[in-house]
Every structure is written in C-alpha cells, then in structure tokens.
Amino acid sequence: MQPIIEVKNYTKKYGDFTAVDNVSFDVEEGSIFAFLGPNGAGKSTTINTLCTMMEKTAGTLWIDGKDVSTEKDAVREVIGVVFQSQTLDEKMTVSENLNMHCVFYKVPKHEVKQRIHFVLNLVDLLHWQNKRVSSLSGGMKRRVEIARALLHYPKVLFLDEPTTGLDPQTRNRMWEYITRLQKEKILRSF
Ligand SMILES: Nc1ncnc2c1ncn2[C@@H]1O[C@H](COP(=O)(O)OP(=O)(O)OP(=O)(O)O)[C@@H](O)[C@H]1O
C-alpha cells in the first residue's frame, strides 16, 4: 500500500542556513508518527512545508499521492493542522470558531451542525459549545483546536507540539484523545 506521507531528500534552507538537510521518510496510513528532536532540529519547518505553508528548497513531498509543492489545494483538503501556537478567536464562542472553519473549508451548510456536534463530542466538549473561548482552560482550548482540525474530515492530522504549556495530567489526557482518533478510526482514510 502507498504510504499516506512520502518525503524524499527534503532540504530546507533559510538563506545560507540549512535548517533541514536531505531528510527522507514514509508514514503508513492509520499510524501515529512522531518527530522527536531538540529545539531548532527542524520539526516545525518540516511540518510547515508538508502543510503547504512553506516552500521546500529541494526534494519531493507527497501526501495521499499529491505533490505538496504543485497540488497545494488538493493537499489542504486532506490535512488538518493544529499549530504550535494557539489560533482560536478568544472573543468568539467555541461553536462560532468551528463555524468559521466550516465556512473556510466549504463544508455543506446542511452538515455543519452535525459535524460540530460530532467533533465536540469526540473531545468531550459538547457542553461548552456556547462558551467564549477565553473562558476555557489551556487544555480545553487545545481540544477545541483538535476538534476544529477534524471538521472537514481530513485524512491526515498534523499536531505541532499539541501539549506545550499543559500540566502533566492534561498532557496525558490529550494523548488519550489523540490515540482515540486512531483507535476509533476517525480520520477519513482508515
Ligand atoms: N523563518 C526563519 N528564518 C530563519 N531561520 C529560521 C526560520 N524559521 C526557523 N529557522 C531556523 O531553522 C531551524 C529549525 O527551526 P524549527 O522551528 O523548524 O525547529 P524545531 O525543531 O521545530 O524547534 P522547536 O522545538 O524549538 O519548535 C532553527 O535553527 C531556527 O532558528
């Protein structure tokens, strides 16, 4: 079976500085794959290139058989992303944030309510949908971000340090949510 992510000889330079040097790896469909490395190793750079947010310097990167450099729109349709820094609108409610994402991703209007219900239920935040994001704890905000990233039913979910800044207990729960996505085959490709 073709890997869901294929990276061959990926290199990224910022000017003369080589941040990622000739990296190759494959990720199998249905797996959880983690990059481990010290600060500055190039993890975010690689994720940002895979998410079509940054151009590569050399190499080839495919997601679901689509070229990350030349088929950006097709790649964006099949990925969900939770960025390192929080990107929710604090002044809006949880469901308003999720609604906005549905608009950006052109989720059919008649499916929006049902999808928001599904993803919030998944992260145990159904009863918080009408609360302002500013009233949520750090762990809850992360869970909203995971829920939001799943709204357009991606095949691949990118998480850039999803537990940064959380206490150990909340961190463990976060990983429970993430392994649940895998076990319950939530992502579209399973
Ligand atoms: N826009 C940029 N311009 C110049 N150098 C950059 C830029 N972004 C990142 N770098 C450098 O590239 C290297 C890789 O950074 P990157 O953020 O990808 O690492 P990381 O492994 O994700 O680190 P962290 O764990 O701190 O998030 C670092 O040395 C960083 O300083």
Give the helix/strand (H/E) hosting 58.
strand 58-63
Residue 41 CA: nearest ligand 1 atom is 21
Query: What CATH superfamily is the domain 5-69?
Result: P-loop containing nucleotide triphosphate hydrolases (3.40.50.300)
pTM: 0.89
User: Which of these, 73, 74, 80, lies nearest to 155 by C-alpha position?
Assistant: 80
Query: What CATH superfamily is the domain 94-188?
Result: P-loop containing nucleotide triphosphate hydrolases (3.40.50.300)
Banded model confidence at residue 190, pLDDT cuts 50, 70, 90:
very low
Encode burial over 50-82: b for 16+ CB neighbours within 10 A, e otherwise.
bbbebebeebebbbbebebeebeeebbbbbbbb
pLDDT at position 82 over 50: yes
Query: To the nearest whole number, what is the mean pLDDT of the chain?
Result: 92
Measured in Å, residue 158 CA sits from the centre of ligand 1 at 17
Which of 20, 45, 47, 54 for a ligand 1 pocket mutation test, highest count of atoms within 8 Å of Cβ? Answer: 45
Q: Which pair of structure tokens corresponds to residue 89?
A: 């609108």
Pairing between β-strand 58-63 and β-strand 66-67 as defined by DSSP bridges: antiparallel
**ipTM over the 0.90 cut-off:** yes
Give the helix/strand (H/E) hosting 104.
helix 94-104
Indicate if ligand 1 lies below 6 Å from the C-beta of 168.
no
Q: How many CB atoms lie within 10 A of CB 142?
A: 26
Report CA-CA distances (Å) from 174 to 6, 19, 106, 169, 182: 27, 29, 28, 9, 13
Residue 188 has a pLDDT of 67
Measured in Å, residue 59 CA sits from the centre of ligand 1 at 19
Report CA-CA distances (Å) from 124 to 38, 143, 146, 176: 32, 8, 11, 12
Instruction: Name the least confident of 40-44, 76-80, 181-185.
Output: 181-185
- The SS3 of residue 128 is helix
pLDDT tens digits for range 14-60: 999 999 999 999 999 989 999 999 999 999 999 999 999 999 999 99
Q: Which pair of structure tokens corresponds to residue 150?
A: 């799943």
Residue 112 has a pLDDT of 95
Q: Kindly report the three-state secondary structure assignment for every residue of 27-60.
A: ECCCCCCCCCCCCCCCHHHHHHHHCCCCCCCEEE
Domain with CATH 3.40.50.300 in the chain: 5-69, 94-188
Residue 167 has a pLDDT of 83
Indicate if ligand 1 lies below 6 Å from the C-beta of 43.
yes
Residue 46 CA: nearest ligand 1 atom is 18
Indicate if ligand 1 lies below 6 Å from the C-beta of 23.
no
Residue 15 CA: nearest ligand 1 atom is 4
